[in-house]
Structure 1
Amino acid sequence: MVGFFRRYWSVFLPLAAALVLTVTWGRALNPTVAVLVGVWLIGAVLSSVHHAETVAHRVGEPFGSLILAVAVTIIEVGLIVTLMLSSGDKAASLARDTVFAAVMITCNGIFGLSLLVGALRRRVAVFNAEGTGGALATVATLATLSLVLPTFTTSEPGPVFSASQLIFAAVASLVLYGVFVMVQTVRHPDDFLPVEGSAAAAEDEHADPPTRRESLRSLGLLLVALIGVVGLAKVESPNIESGVAAVGLPPSAVGVVIAMLVLLPETIAAVRTARRDRVQISLNLALGSAMASIGLTIPAIALASIWIEGPLMLGLGATQMVLLALTVVVGALTVVPGRATLLQGCVHLVLFSAFVFLAVSP
């Protein structure tokens, strides 16, 4: 039995998570059941990382690093829109809080962990400054257009866009994201590959990819696992909300916890990739996830706003804008040399810690 599970765990866990999601969806969970659901959530995360790496190995880079980021984001967007449609005015700031949390988690948490792990392994983490710098510039532009400007526009009272402004932000987000994907995969893919001559580049050249059948099976199971991750995170959210309220934390802490759960697959995949001296791929995954989170979420909620009642608060507060600005500045200084030590990794992780601390203690 143990041998069977070791061989087929990556097939069993996604299907079991989907079954648990079907049984628990829309139901109130007692503490014992909530713990069991959390166990299956972790299992779905681990299996999603395994299948994402299998598919990425088949299609190669830089296409591979897009798969997990885009798949998770699409499902995450569906979750956000569903919650906004069902919660009404209570979810006015849900999209803002979720997207900002995703940016901080990816651009500081995952980014910092990748640099730290890479630097601890090789003393210096090496990556392509051209591609990483372009990705960071795109993230900074998307975040400013979608999350900062609403605080300063005057067409509508409060940190909200007018209808025309929201449409512009949605179109601009889609255009920027589409252009970036074209540059990464067609025009300049070499800027997003491991540095020539590194151990990672040699590994890419000699490792045998999985068969077409294995890749298609992994792709299907990846989608099932990701649905399980995001769906079970949604199932757990009432328990998270009650726990947060019980200890006196602000409601924004709920969004941070849920975002961390949803982004667990990217985090684990990035760390494992960095341990194999593939820091560039880890950074692609981190910044690509941030970019997809903004570039796909804003257009989706712009469309959903037709049916959503009440205001759609997108503008960040002063503390959040300071953290975002500091993240962009520090990220630029980290990226420009094309190499980083554990110092840069620790700086980003401290910024991530500051974000989490201020989210629970504003």
Structure 2
Amino acid sequence: MHKAMTSMRPLAGWLTVVLFLLWGSSWVGHIGSPLSALLLFTWLFLVIVWVAFGVVHEAEELAHMLGEPLGTLVLTLSIVIIEVVLISAVMLDSSGSSTLARDTMYAVLMIVLNGVVGLGLLLGGFRHYEQAYNLKGASAYLSVIIPLTLTALVLPDFTTSTPDGSLAPPQALAFSLLTLALYGVFLWLQTGRHRGYFVTADAQPVDAKSVAQQPAGAISRKKLLRHFALLLVNILPIVILSKSMAKILDYGMAATGAPKALGGIIIAILVFAPEGISALIAARADRLTRAINLCLGSAASTLGLTVPAVLAISLYTGQPVLLGVPPSSIVMLMATLILSAMTFSSARTTMLEGAVHLSLFVVFIVLIFSP
């Protein structure tokens, strides 16, 4: 029964992808009524959420086989790379997407650092009272997230080379190289000499050399590749269908008068649903280090890969990219970064930290409808 359910998830996802590739343009392009839009939205939402559980399953299998931090890194990079490809495709296909990357990165940071972290700490604290994690790993993540966030989303509002929140070509080139270099050094340390920062205190990290030297019975390379392929097979439908979901949401936003930012937030939630679900499961199971690796890792990867990609597209096409967020968003980013630094300054967490992060997430949602 479990194997049948596992195979049904990607089958349902790819069948929906095929149907939307064949007839989706007419369905989405000629939505006749709010009822038809609601039906299409419900269909896509249920399929995407169901397939997301398949992603979580495969990620858990890989994490068990590879150990930390490689297990969570595979899931994080897979989703973020596909997210970057999606943003890049929309930018290259549309001339009205100058704020797409900014809005996506901001939404991801708010959803992950406040929504998922807050709910995870709340659920974990309710069940286990206090939870321990590897403090060095969280500090390492934040040491990368803080400068990348301020450089990408705040600093462009205060430079004088451009009149808006964009970057001049020399700035874009320099910031892209800086972001790639910093994130590359972080990945090298995370998977190399400082792997121990990203595992629990009583666990030992697993690196590629130790995996290769294990007996054939301990870990199967064929099984490893199979689970990695299944991970991608489950992830791809989520991202492909999210483009159709975005068009349906645009119609819904226009028909109901809801703020357009809401559509981007829903898409960000759907794209990062596998990581969010996996992080919440890990926090509830008292594996807080894994949950932190997923949450903070996705935030660092989103900034480290999205910024260079969109700035490179901007330099290549000449299409302007606005990265600087509005003043209210700057306040929210600063509050989130300060709170995150305080939350992960002690080796143990409680429900209180989760409640405070969730309160900031509620403020973020309120500001969408009432800026």
C-alpha distance in 2, partners of 1:252/1:219? 33
C-alpha distance in 2, partners of 1:216/1:150? 42
**Equivalent in 15, 29, 34 of residue 11 of structure 2:** 15
C-alpha distance in 1, partners of 2:148/2:309? 15
- Alignment match, 2:164: 158
Secondary structure in structure 1 of the residue aligned to 2:94: helix
**Equivalent in 73, 83, 97 of residue 80 of structure 2:** 73
- 2:22 aligned with 1:38, yes or no? no
- 2:306 aligned with 1:297, yes or no? yes
**Equivalent in 80, 100, 104 of residue 94 of structure 1:** 100
Q: Any unmatched runs of 5+ in structure 2?
A: 29-35, 204-216
- Alignment match, 2:152: 146
- Alignment match, 2:234: 225
Q: What are the superposed Cα offsets for residues 289-326 of structure 1, whole Å, 9 maximum, x if unpaired?
A: 00111110111112212454542100011100100100
Distance verdict in 2 for CA 1:209–1:92, change over 3 Å: farther
One-letter identity of the residue aligned with 2:84 = V
Q: Any unmatched runs of 5+ in structure 1?
A: 198-207
C-alpha distance in 1, partners of 2:316/2:45? 32
Displacement of 1:210? 6.6
- Alignment match, 2:20: 24
Displacement of 1:241? 1.4
- Alignment match, 1:61: 68
Displacement of 1:209? 7.3
Distance verdict in 2 for CA 1:121–1:211, change over 3 Å: farther
- Alignment match, 1:259: 268
- Alignment match, 1:184: 190
Displacement of 1:217? 1.6
Percent identical pairs in the alignment equals 37
C-alpha distance in 1, partners of 2:44/2:70? 32
TM-score, scaled to structure 1: 0.91
**Equivalent in 96, 99, 109 of residue 103 of structure 1:** 109
Displacement of 1:37? 2.5
Displacement of 1:285? 0.6
Displacement of 1:118? 2.1
**Equivalent in 268, 273, 278 of residue 282 of structure 2:** 273
- Alignment match, 1:202: none
C-alpha distance in 2, partners of 1:103/1:169? 19
Q: What are the superposed Cα offsets for residues 232-255 of structure 1, whole Å, 9 maximum, x if unpaired?
A: 111111111121222222222221
C-alpha distance in 2, partners of 1:15/1:152? 49
C-alpha distance in 1, partners of 2:220/2:6? 17
C-alpha distance in 1, partners of 2:223/2:262? 40
Displacement of 1:16? 2.9
What is the root-mean-square deviation in Å for CA atoms of aligned residues? 1.9
Contact 1:253 1:359 survives alignment (8 Å): yes
Contact 1:84 1:308 survives alignment (8 Å): no
Instruction: Count residues in correspondence.
Output: 348
Q: Which runs of 4+ in 1 moved over 6 A?
A: none
Contact 2:111 2:269 survives alignment (8 Å): yes
Displacement of 1:212? 3.6
Secondary structure in structure 1 of the residue aligned to 2:192: helix
Q: What are the superposed Cα offsets for residues 257-309 of structure 1, whole Å, 9 maximum, x if unpaired?
A: 11111111111000111122110110111000001111101111122124545
C-alpha distance in 2, partners of 1:279/1:267? 13
One-letter identity of the residue aligned with 2:175 = A
Q: What are the superposed Cα offsets for residues 69-115 of structure 1, whole Å, 9 maximum, x if unpaired?
A: 11000000111111111121x21100000011111111111222222
C-alpha distance in 1, partners of 2:315/2:167? 14
Distance verdict in 2 for CA 1:209–1:320, change over 3 Å: farther
